[in-house]
Amino acid sequence: MFIIGIAGGTGSGKTTVVNQIVNELPPDEVCIISQDSYYKATDNLTYQERSKINFDHPRAIDFELLVEHLAELRENKVIEQPIYSFVTHNRTKDTVKTHPRKVIIVEGILIFNNKLLRDLCDIKIFVHADADERLIRRVKRDISERGRDINEVLTRYQNTLKPMHEEFIEPTKSYADIIIPNDRYNTVAIDIVRTVISERL
């Protein structure tokens, strides 16, 4: 089994890079674990309290469960991956049955913040994009996919996303084995990843 960690700021183009790698592999040999599925359950809070949670701080992530699940996949066990709703700001009651695969991609903005999680990754990739590019993508996504309005998105960016990015995300670039600039189709970077995977498998 080969575990690839892909981090980078919100809207940096992680999904594009994930898809580029997935497209290089047979479908039955790869699975994706998203950090977004592992936000902590907040059943004890009201919706108003949940909506004030700082989702860009490492405290919001259930790293313990994420590390446990990756370790179980390594042991060839099936896991029940949580499903998180950004509409209700809470985990749903459903889970996704996730089977061990030859290649596991773990992606998320904060995944390199946890040493145990970093140590489980065989290769660590950081996707870099300029702040204005990331903001534009975040605005588009939050309005179209998460039902936010423009003022809410911009306020959250200014008060939370930007300072959290500078404090917790950008510094983790130093842990990366490969840094991919922007999300342009970076054939050299993807070729390196493909070569590393085929050598390991």
Query: What is the CATH classification number for the domain harbouring 123?
Result: 3.40.50.300
The predicted structure's pLDDT at residue 106: 97
Q: Is residue 197 part of a domain?
A: no
Q: Is residue 8 part of a domain?
A: yes
d(CA 169, CA 12): 11
Read off the pLDDT of residues 5-29 as tens digits, 9 standing for 90 and up.
Answer: 999 988 778 888 898 889 888 889 9
Q: What is the DSSP string of 129-148?
A: --HHHHHHHHHHHHHHHH--
Check: CB of residue 189 under 8 Å from CB of residue 178.
yes
Read off the pLDDT of residues 98-151 as tens digits, 9 standing for 90 and up.
Answer: 999 999 999 999 999 999 999 999 999 999 877 777 778 777 877 877 767 788
**What is the total count of domains within the chain?**
1
